[in-house]
Amino acid sequence: MNRFLGLATEPFKVAARLTEPFPISGPMSGHGGARKYAGEERPSEVLTGKQFFGVRMLNVEARPDGSLAGTPVTGRPGSPATLSANALFMLESGQGASRPAAGDVVWVELR
């Protein structure tokens, strides 16, 4: 619709301050990556930099001072726990990717 109207097609993003860090989860988080299963042979891989963006859901609320506060919601996008979330964030993962901490300002896309 935006393209038809001649408007920008990029997602609308706003800055929000995290109230708590994102929970560690997902296959690319590195959590539990050292596990090796019986009979499994892993090829040697040299991965550098950021490899994947995971979608994380947030609840964004206005604070009395006019700023926005984002609280991460635990769960995968589309799960019943995340249906009430009103924003999403593309979280970088892989080697060299830093996780946003509580108090950091991140750019979130409103749903």
d(CA 19, CA 44): 38
- Could you please state the CATH topology (level 3) that the domain comprising 12-24+50-111 is classified under: Beta-clip (2.40.340)
- 0.85 exceeded by pTM: no
pLDDT tens-digit map of 44-62:
666 666 667 788 999 999 9
Q: For residue 69, how many C-alpha atoms fall within 13 Å in the half-sphere facing its CB? A: 11
Percent of the chain with pLDDT over 90: 38
pLDDT tens-digit map of 70-92:
999 988 888 898 999 999 998 88
How distant is the alpha carbon of residue 103 from its chain centre?
15
Give the three-state DSSP class for 76: coil
What residues form DSSP beta bridges with 108?
Answer: 14
Could you state, in order of their start, the residue ranges of all structural domains in the chain?
Answer: 12-24+50-111
